[in-house]
Structure 1
Amino acid sequence: MKNHVVFQLVKFLWTTILDQHYPPEELHKIINQPSQLIFDAAEVGNYGFLSELISVYPSLIWDVDCKNRTILHIAVLNRHYSIFNFIHQMGHIKGFILTYENDEDRNTLLHLAAKLAPQVQLVP
């Protein structure tokens, strides 16, 4: 129930912002201030929030953080499979996204997925 209310709030806020017809530069400022909201959401695995934003503004998947990582890079690094699986819903661009080198170390999403998970996520 609580997640549903939060999701409805996010949807309402995003719709309200989009109804203002801000130029793309202003939308980026809104999303990235006071913190880089989409990257925080990717780090904690907030799939509902990200899918709502991306469904209306798909170019958000190409935004990068201070380490030149997209939200998908961050989601994969933090083993948030629901966000990573979102790629499979993107159709024809999924191959490009999977092989896109964009972090500081020139890692693709496949490189990041192959890294060993943190100790707390490994099965004892």
Structure 2
Amino acid sequence: MKHHIVLQLVNFLWTTITEKIDSRSKLIDIINEPSPLLFDAVEVGNVGFLSELISQYPSLIWDVDSRNRSIIHTAVLHRHASIYNLVHEIGHIRDIIVTFE
């Protein structure tokens, strides 16, 4: 029950933010400050949180961290199969990820 309420809150906040932000760069600034929120969530395996963010803004799967790693790279590095599966469901990335540097 508590987990469901938290996900509802995340969904509400993320929806509100994406409705108010008029540019991708401002959105990226919000999720990168004070820390790289997206990649912190990937590292700890917070698939529910990531699912809410990515469902509202699917192109986040292509963002990279300071080491030029995508969400998929970070998920594999930290052995989070559920996040890999989430990102894989978003689009046809398996062919692209092989050539991604």
When the two structures are aligned, how many residues end up with a matched partner? 101
Query: 1:46 Cα shift?
Result: 0.7
Tell me which residue corresponds to 1:33.
33
The structure that is helix-richer by fraction is: 2
Deviations 1:69-107 (A, max 9, x none): 11111111111110111244234x2333441433xxxxx
Query: 1:6 Cα shift?
Result: 1.2
Structure with bigger RCO (C-alpha 8 Å, 6+ apart): 2
Which runs of at least 4 in structure 1 moved beyond 2 Å after TM superposition?
Answer: 94-98
Letter of the 1:96 counterpart: D
Tell me which residue corresponds to 1:95.
94
Considering only CA atoms, is the larger Rg found in Structure 1 or Structure 2?
A: 1
Q: How has the CA–CA distance of structure 1 residues 68 and 9 changed in structure 2, closer, same or farther, with 3 Å as cutoff?
A: same
Does structure 1 conserve the Cα–Cα contact (< 8 Å) formed by 2:63 and 2:70?
Answer: yes
Query: 1:5 Cα shift?
Result: 1.4
Distance in 1, Cα, partners of 2:38 & 2:3: 17
Q: Aligned-residue CA RMSD in angstroms?
A: 1.5
Query: 1:44 Cα shift?
Result: 0.4
Does structure 1 conserve the Cα–Cα contact (< 8 Å) formed by 2:88 and 2:94?
Answer: no
Tell me which residue corresponds to 2:11.
11
TM-score, normalising length: structure 1: 0.74
Matched, 1:59 2:79: no
Distance in 2, Cα, partners of 1:82 & 1:97: 19
Distance in 2, Cα, partners of 1:67 & 1:34: 17
- Aligned-pair identity (%): 58
Distance in 1, Cα, partners of 2:96 & 2:39: 17
TM-score, normalising length: structure 2: 0.89
Distance in 1, Cα, partners of 2:58 & 2:88: 14
Note the residue ranges of structure 2 that are not aligned, 5 or more in a row: none
Determine helix, strand or coil for the equivalent of 2:72: helix
